[in-house]
Structure 1
Amino acid sequence: MKATRALAAAALFVAASACAGGRGADPPRSPTTRTASPAPTTATGAPQAASSFTIVSGGDILLHMSVNQAARAGSGYDYTQLLAGIRPWIEGADLALCALEVPIVPPGEKPSNYPAFGSPPQIADSLKALGWDGCALATNHSMDRGFPGVVSTVDNFDRVGLGRHGTARTGEESTRIQYYKVRSGGRDVVVAHLSATTLTNGIPLPKGAEWSWNVVGSLGRRSVGDLVEDARRARRQGADIVVVSMHWGTEYVSQPTAEQTAVGDQLAKSGQIDLVFGNHSHVPEPVAKLAGGPGGRGMWVVWSMGNTISGQTVQNHGYRVMAGLMTTATVDVPAKGPARVSNLEWTAIAQDERTDRVFQLSRLTSGERPASMTLSPAEIASRANATYPVMGADGSKERVTPPTPRAQLIGRELK
């Protein structure tokens, strides 16, 4: 079960990184070996059977002050109530990777709204409680609260035991890659997670700490080729699957831009990356399988998953920003040979603008009316009309059933 594997991973992480939470500190490295057995067997020595597991991700978690107010719980904040409607997708995943678009405010500072966001530290606690295993942190808003906000974000993720990539507290830490070890059918599969952004909102890289923000392309100090080299290094360090979270594209555009397709093609043609989770547009964009990928088997990409939750409004941006995606990747683990991503499925979600609660859209369109929801039939239909024509244009079918745990997350390491 999710709780069991989360506890197991947390225990391993604490043992490996007990001093990782200090400001500016470099987490110690674990001696855990990262290479998977080339010919895995069961504990009895019998030949290993084929198996599979799932990786789930979602759209931007964009915490406007309206969302923070909706999450108020006594003197603090609890976001779990707002996202309870999609919790089965998070808990059912064998590995769940979120996308936190905004930084956590430094100690003693207050949360802030657009254009310079800052979220309460309790968001980290809520993400952990919901069942997320880690997050992408490289976005155009990563530096909204300056370098101290980066430090606070990473400190809080380490405090609650969440994996992360995309921002860093030190130059040495910025070179590390986030790894997750998943035991599937008795075989250990290592998943590497990288997070990068091509966008900065015009905010300069912090002087003397340019390494703290993983910006690639013309606005950063690194190229997309450098990101490919990170993936290649992850393979050398034992990764079986490489996942990249990309913050890219143009806001409120429902199809990938030329920049997205160019970067996506470069990542796919490298042969190093299995799966790309895209975000930034705040509206859903399609899923595709690009030529290339490891062994020439293709690279799956969702160009953008829209918003998981935000304070954006229908009045300002239309119904598209009230819809987002949960995406479920299936990783096949054969008895012998390399693990591979065999499918990437999408599930539409919808936000109730009046309560900021999030629900699975197909359940609403089929007639379900949760007591905590205030949406009218017309409002539900408007969210559906803003989502399904985009996602179903290629004939792909929506996944409507949450995944169920198939594997166990047994380790997490930043190295």
Structure 2
Amino acid sequence: MGRSLAVLAITAALTVSCGSETAQPKAKAGGRSFTVAAAGDILIHPELVEQAAKDAEESGHGEAGLDFGPLLAGVKPVISKADLAICHMETPVGKPKGPFQGYPEFLVPPQILTTLKDVGYDTCSTASNHTFDHGLKAVRRTLNAMDEVGLGHTGSARTPEEAEQINIRDVNGVKVAHLAYSWESFLNPTPEKERWAFNRSSTDEIKKAEKRARAKGAEVVILSLHWGLEHYNEPSVPQLDMAQRITEETGVDLVIGHHSHVVQPIQKVNGTWIAYSLGNQVARHSSPTGLTEEGAIGWFEFRESADGWDVSARYRTTLVDVPPEVEPGEKAPKGAVVDHRVVDVQHALENPEGLSEDRIARYRLAEDRTRGFLYNRGAPGGDGLRQLSLHK
């Protein structure tokens, strides 16, 4: 009986998602528009550094023996298509030749930043529970490296003066501000004298930052939040409470969430889209769960209407291919994944030539499961969340 009801519920949700769309706000004559692509955590574990070394040896490209280009090439057609692409840079970077560290105190190759820029990212949030893994020196090194490759950033700062600045970008003639906040690590908290260098989650502080952004001319404000519980596919009560407060007490136009390392729902709250967690964009946890390899690229189209901004939401499922572990001297099964790669799942399923049945089944599982998690708070109904098609 319970199983039958669950099937009926899923069927109903999918039926609604294919039904008629809600009435659109009245368009503004000569109204502007732009698109935003956003994804989850960029978390470079040691296995991904090894992959970048292997790829550099084979390609002859990269810097200091590391090439992250092949790892992320699969999402470039989506990310580069957006007018504004936002990433979440989870960790500080070290020097090009290392040394590097993984969990729990990350220090990753700065070469990943060059690849993020090449993939099409314009700006990144840098507030996370790992921001201060190696202190203020590493924060400054990270932001310097992002400046060098042309990536914008928000959420951490090198000086008290920079901490007061607002990241505002011109996107198709629209001034768009990007803010970022996070809970703070208990392992490496920010020293009291350097508290200005890190944006701690606080609705009151977000309200103040939005006010500063509007005063500087921001017409749209996008907020990145590092929040929630790791490995839970449903938002926590504090997440839900904070989403309510932000959408009731601020004019923030879009909230992008991360930290859980798994996909959580996208939901419209009080008229504002909240992506509670987009999972991992790229990661290779020491014990992959399947869920930690799945992610989503959120795609949001802003259209100027007579009453402000109308925002529609789409998504694209991603998956990090993880090669099977084999003993020295043994060969991987025929058709198995050979390299770590971030896959555009929909593209892979539309172009399955050369893929084994097992890999096709894995991609279908990722697509179905991600859709289920994203839709779990009713967004495909009247709010119209759907999968993004690139064939328009």
- TM bucket normalised to smaller: 0.7 to 0.9
Cα distance in 2 between the residues matched to 1:392 and 1:365: 20
Q: Displacement, 1:275?
A: 0.3
Matched, 1:100 2:89: yes
Q: Displacement, 1:329?
A: 0.9
> One-letter code of the match for 1:126?
T
Q: Displacement, 1:384?
A: 3.3
Q: 1:70 to 1:301 in 2, by over 3 A?
A: same
Q: Residue in 1 aligned with 2:372?
A: 389
Cα distance in 2 between the residues matched to 1:403 and 1:327: 17
Q: Displacement, 1:50?
A: 2.5
Q: Residue in 2 aligned with 1:120?
A: 109
| Structural mapping, 1:187-336, within 5 Å | 188-216=173-201, 223-291=202-270, 298-312=271-285, 316-334=287-305
Q: 1:204 to 1:403 in 2, by over 3 A?
A: farther
Q: Displacement, 1:348?
A: 1.0
User: Secondary structure in 2 aligned to 1:96?
Assistant: strand
Which of residues 147, 156, 160 is equivalent to 1:171?
Answer: 160
Q: Residue in 2 aligned with 1:135?
A: 124
Q: So what's the TM-score if we normalise by structure 1?
A: 0.76
Q: Displacement, 1:392?
A: 3.2
Kindly provide the CA deviation profile for residues 139-168 of structure 1, in whole angstroms up to 9, marking residues without a partner as x. 111111221110111000111111100111
> One-letter code of the match for 1:398?
R
Are the aligned partners of 1:329 and 1:341 in contact in 2 as well (CA < 8 Å)?
no
User: Secondary structure in 1 aligned to 2:302?
Assistant: strand
> One-letter code of the match for 2:198?
W
Are the aligned partners of 1:362 and 1:400 in contact in 2 as well (CA < 8 Å)?
no
Are the aligned partners of 1:60 and 1:309 in contact in 2 as well (CA < 8 Å)?
yes
Q: Residue in 2 aligned with 1:398?
A: 386
Cα distance in 1 between the residues matched to 2:52 and 2:96: 19
Q: Displacement, 1:207?
A: 4.2
Structure 1 unaligned segments of length 5 or more: list them: 1-46, 217-222, 292-297, 405-415
> One-letter code of the match for 1:257?
S
Q: Displacement, 1:51?
A: 3.6
Q: Displacement, 1:389?
A: 1.9
Q: 1:395 to 1:172 in 2, by over 3 A?
A: closer
Are the aligned partners of 1:329 and 1:345 in contact in 2 as well (CA < 8 Å)?
yes
Q: Residue in 2 aligned with 1:59?
A: 40
Q: Residue in 2 aligned with 1:40?
A: none
Structure 2 unaligned segments of length 5 or more: list them: 1-27, 58-63, 324-338
Which of residues 346, 350, 362 is equivalent to 1:362?
Answer: 346
Cα distance in 1 between the residues matched to 2:273 and 2:188: 31
Which of residues 349, 353, 362 is equivalent to 2:318?
Answer: 349
> One-letter code of the match for 2:182?
T
Kindly provide the CA deviation profile for residues 269-301 of structure 1, in whole angstroms up to 9, marking residues without a partner as x. 12320000000011111111111xxxxxx2111
Q: Residue in 2 aligned with 1:380?
A: 363
Q: So what's the TM-score if we normalise by structure 2?
A: 0.80
Q: Residue in 1 aligned with 2:66?
A: 77
Q: Displacement, 1:119?
A: 1.1
Cα distance in 2 between the residues matched to 1:367 and 1:201: 45
Q: Displacement, 1:198?
A: 1.7
User: Secondary structure in 2 aligned to 1:181?
Assistant: strand
